[in-house]
A and B are shown apart, each in its own frame.
Chain A
Amino acid sequence: MSVVQIKDVTKQFGEVTALQGIDLEIEPGEFVSLIGPSGCGKSTLLRIIGDLIEPTSGTASVNGKPARQARVDRDYGIVFQDAVLYDWRTVSKNIALPLELARWDRRRRADKVKEMLELVELNGFEDHYPWQLSGGMQQRVSIARALSFDPALLLMDEPFGALDEMTRERLNMELLQIWEASGSTIVFVTHSIAEAVFLSTRVVVMSPRPGRISETIPVDLPQPRTAATREEPRFFELVTQVREALHLGHDAERPAQPSEATV
């Protein structure tokens, strides 16, 4: 059974068609990246999977049930571009938020928070407030919170977009380790080609106005990925392939201009 099943989804925001005719199936254990230029609707698609936005037409199902039911059942964890930590909660309390809402008792919460702090390597920071953390650390808290209730599906909306390159690469490695350890399915929105190729088992390339899927590229790089993966020839081939797919999708949206034809 697919974890995510999107059937002929269209989304209108007033006059603007954000998404048109989207079909997408994601199998258990996949790491799927949605990549595309700004305005291609990749974040909108992620939010439709999470039932944070309703599609204008078409259906979205998660774990074989309507997306709404999956949200109510807390089948997925989500990580946003901003860490979206509550300023008035310590690191521990932020991680425990979904567990409090799920009515876990205090002891079980404390055990789980401890486990998650180890997973994202933030031991010793449990009593810090968000403003005392760096951007990378805040995002790790956000990931710990999303994973705390063991969701089968993790939705990530450009989670490392605001971080510097060094931090981003380190968190990429950490995310892959977490993915392997947890066995969850991940849908990952990004606008970095290298990040999409490095992380994913499949890259879904989207094009704008109206947002649609222009190409799906399976990533056949060996698992587990390491720092050396970024230097393999196959990595560069795939990066080139994704880049060309992005440009094709981008150029297809408008008729070629005479000046461009001569280039």
Chain B
Amino acid sequence: MSSGAPVAVQPVPRGGLGRMVGRRITDWLPAAVVLVATFALWQGLIVWLDVQEFLLPKPTSIATTFWDDKSELWHAGWYTFQEALGGFVVGSSIAILFALVLARWRPLGSALMPYAIAANAIPIIAFAPITNQWFDGGLTKSSKVAIAAVLCFFPVLVNTLKGLTSVRPQDLELMRSYAAGEVEIFRRVRIPTALPFMFTGLKVATVLAMIGAVVGEYFGGALNALGVLILTRSRLFQFNEAWAGITMVCLFGISLYVAVAILERVTLRWVPSTTE
């Protein structure tokens, strides 16, 4: 940060994407150990306590089922992921546009923000059965896209708006000394300041988008959707298959999160914590 205190001159971070994303293998080692230990403990406890499969299957049986059904799971997952991604893109884009408008015309912001924050507390997922009826009886992607979009909207809006209005007064004073207009101030100060906040909102939104799509499908959706697959398999007592479906949801959810996190690192090269 540009505080006045003298600090030692740091070396310039060099290298491309790989350097920014990839850390040394030793940095990942503790997390890998925890992962392996968790699965080993899970497996061990089930064998030792003789837990019934419908309560919790063994990780190895889930893995075997996942491998056997990988083609079906992949296609179902891809279908649901498209809904989540669509909702994420639509919801986040509208939220960013809204944030820009509310930050530009502040009275509008003061009038609407209390309701936006209150609306943020509404369990939007409760509307899923109704939105399914709004769009084609719930059999196409659009109803899930809508649910995911609404879920993504609020965290992105609230965080982006917070960022756009968190500009340091001296940053604005400098622009004023150059007689810069409102558009210039947005472009060169407010938006760059808001980017780290916006990415925080976007990362929250990736998780919500997957939840929105899958839970939306629980209330009815295409037969080849992942949420429908998980629901029907657990009704048929095919718990390994249901768990394999949940694993697929996790993989797609994590992928979307990681994609946004990488985009964040590439975009926010100036933030010290993203280059360490």
Contacts and interface: CB of A to CB of B under 8 A. Distances in A.
Contact of B171 (A74, A86, A128, A135): A86
Contact of B174 (A84, A135, A162): A84
Interface stretch (B2-10, B34-42, B101-109, B156-164): B2-10
Interface of chain B, main secondary structure: loop
A85 B268 CA distance: 16
A164 B9 CA distance: 16
B12 A87 contact: no
A80 B179 contact: no
Given A78-B177, A83-B2, A131-B1, A88 B192 contact: yes
A181 interface: no
A87 B1 contact: yes
B177 A76 contact: yes
A135 B6 contact: yes
Contacts of A81: 4
Contacts, number: 90
A84 B179 contact: no
A248 interface: no
A84 B171 contact: yes
Interface string B181-194: 00010001100110
B272 interface: yes
Interface in B1-49: 1-10, 12
Given A129-B270, A132-B9, A82 B179 contact: no
A50 B184 contact: no
A29 interface: no
Contacts of A167: 6
A82 B6 contact: no
Given A127-B12, A132-B10, A88 B270 contact: yes
A80 B180 CA distance: 17
A252 interface: no
Contact of A87 (B4, B170, B270): B270
Contact of B272 (A98, A131, A133, A163): A131
B50 interface: no
Contacts of B6: 134-136, 163-164, 167
Contacts of A7: none
Contacts of B174: 78, 80, 84
A149 B176 CA distance: 16
Looking at A85, A87, A101, A137, which has the most chain B CB atoms within 10 Å of its CB? A87
Given A133-B9, A134-B6, A52 B173 contact: yes
24 contacts: A71-B177, A71-B179, A76-B177, A78-B174, A81-B4, A82-B4, A86-B171, A86-B189, A86-B192, A88-B270, A97-B178, A100-B188, A131-B1, A131-B272, A133-B9, A134-B7, A135-B4, A135-B6, A135-B7, A139-B4, A162-B5, A163-B4, A163-B6, A164-B6
Q: Which 9 A-B pairs have the closest CB atoms?
A: A162-B4, A135-B6, A88-B192, A132-B10, A85-B2, A130-B2, A88-B270, A72-B179, A134-B6
Interface of B: 1-10, 12, 168, 170-171, 173-174, 176-180, 184, 188-189, 192-193, 195, 268-272
